Amino acid sequence: MNALPTYPADVDDVDQMGAGRTILIVDDMPNNISVLFETLTRFNFKVLVARDGKSAIEQAGLGQPDLILLDVMMPGMDGFETCRRLKQQETTRAIPVLFMTALSETIDKVNGFNMGAVDYITKPFQLQEVLARINTHLTLRQLQRDLQTANARLETRVAERTASLAKALAEVETLKNQLQAENTYLREEIRQTSNFDEIVSQSKAFGKVLRQVEQVAPTNTSVLILGESGTGKELLARAVHNCSGRSKKTLVKINCAALPATLIESELFGHEKGAFTGATTQKIGRFELADGGTIFLDEIGEMPIELQSKLLRVLQEGEFERVGSTRTLKVNVRVIAATNRDLEKEISEGRFREDLYYRLNVFPIQSLPLRERKEDIPLLVRHFCTKHGPGIGRRIDVIPPDVIDTLMEYHWPGNIRELENVVERSLIISTGRKLELGDWLLRKRSTPKPTGLVTMEEAERNHILAVLDHTRWKVSGKNGAAEILGMIPTTLDSRMKKLGIQRP
């Protein structure tokens, strides 16, 4: 054997060359083990020893050496088989193996590489070469570990950035969908010809109602607007919103009487794609559209009882789920509701939740029927002439006193909406710049009335019957009873059922 070398030529600090590193020597020859053990410990390597292949596999699994020096020619399991088994096991696969062999045949060296060895050392040993090869492969393994660590860190950072980007994209997509839905809703609102931006009144009684609006508007309190159909409940709701701190946000409205019961939940809370038959895309509900603003629930008395608990939850907790979703959404929405029904009676008959009623009825506003503010009729007539005249091609400069007198004498069960329809109809038949009323109201006034005083409900029933008789029982559509009365067809149907009106 050669004498103990000083140190390999490429090692800068000989004393620290093997610090913290472990080498497993596998050889059945004690002399070889002794020489390698003395040399490696001299350079501060920790050395493990095995005399056969089986023992080598066990020690490699337990000790996890940084490198294995493996003799080829051993009794029993030779070095090739030992190397093959080491490379089969997950715990020892990455450990570099250097064969020690006295054989010089190329085929034996090729077999060693095929088994997974990274290098070979030819006996008799040149110890300086042994140390140089050990140092080279330990350095390579450390570089591989550093590279793996760097790759792992890079993959972690990429995964974190990807997750962050995916979250940001999801938020952008949600915001885009909400903005698109809001723009669609606003475009639909703009297309409507009705103008609710102005309140036309000189009535002292109605002035008290407007003062209530001014008092409640700056708060976030829920408002319940009560009153007959056609009295301008939506107008009051818009006034509350426009005078509030939410005026720069959206006022979203939904008419609970105009939608089938099966669609109200989807309209209010939205739905996910595939939530039900026909749900081909995700839909943003009205409450999401109104986040930060106000939602106006018209005809709240028509809401199905099974949905009222969900509405109550939104009022109490400000949260809900879309149809077909389990994700809870939070919103900050002010609720204004309106109805022409007696909700206390609806509660007693089991059609409206008492707890929802008290949650909505924090600040009630009673919208006045037109018969209680008749001093506003001249102003309203002029307003509707200005509003509808250009679209019909009419310019009215004169409204005769007898026209105003006739309109003032009429009872107006359909309220302002009925008055607006009468004025629009009068504009159509007016040939000049003077408003002509025609004989339509005269025919209504000449309808036989029962003798003696009657209740408001009986008067309403008689009036609806008169209009239905005039339209030959046509309820909806052009020139139908609902249009003449200024009512939504579904609302008229509801009133007819309540009043016991049936087609003869």
DSSP assignment of 115-139? HT-SEEEESSP-HHHHHHHHHHHHH
In whole angstroms, what is the distance from residue 293 CA to residue 241 CA? 8
pTM over 0.75: no
pLDDT at 184: 65
Instruction: Give yes or no on whether 22-143 and 204-368 have one common fold.
Output: yes
In whole angstroms, what is the distance from residue 398 CA to residue 404 CA? 11
Is 204-368 a CATH 3.10.310.30 domain? no
- pLDDT of the chain along its 504 residues, tens only? 444 444 444 444 555 666 778 999 999 999 889 999 998 998 889 999 999 999 999 999 999 999 999 998 888 899 889 999 999 999 999 899 999 887 665 556 677 778 888 888 888 878 888 888 899 888 888 888 888 888 889 988 888 888 888 888 888 887 777 777 766 666 555 444 333 356 888 888 998 999 999 999 999 999 999 998 889 899 999 999 999 999 899 899 999 888 887 788 888 888 888 777 777 788 888 999 999 999 999 999 989 898 899 999 999 999 988 888 888 899 999 999 999 989 999 999 899 999 999 999 999 999 999 999 999 999 999 999 999 999 888 888 899 999 999 899 888 888 998 899 999 999 999 888 899 887 766 555 544 444 456 777 778 888 888 888 777 788 887 778 888 888 888 888 888 888 878 776
Which long-range CB contacts under 8 A does 343-351 form with residues at least 24 apart? Answer: 343/301, 346/301, 350/305, 351/301, 351/305
Is 22-143 a CATH 3.40.50.2300 domain? yes
pLDDT at 11: 45
pLDDT at 423: 92
| CATH class of the region 371-441 | mainly alpha
DSSP class of 303: S
pLDDT at 185: 63
pLDDT at 453: 66
DSSP class of 15: G
Any idea where the domains of the chain sit in the sequence?
22-143, 204-368, 371-441, 456-499
Would you list the DSSP string of 423-454?
HHHHHHH--SSB----SHHHHHHTS---SS--
If we measure between CA atoms, which residue out of 148, 100, 365 comes closest to residue 109?
A: 100
Q: 422-432 burial, b if ≥16 CB within 10 A, otherwise e?
A: bbbbbbeebee
pLDDT at 104: 61
The values of phi and psi at residue 498, to 5°, are -65, -35
3-state SS class at 297: strand
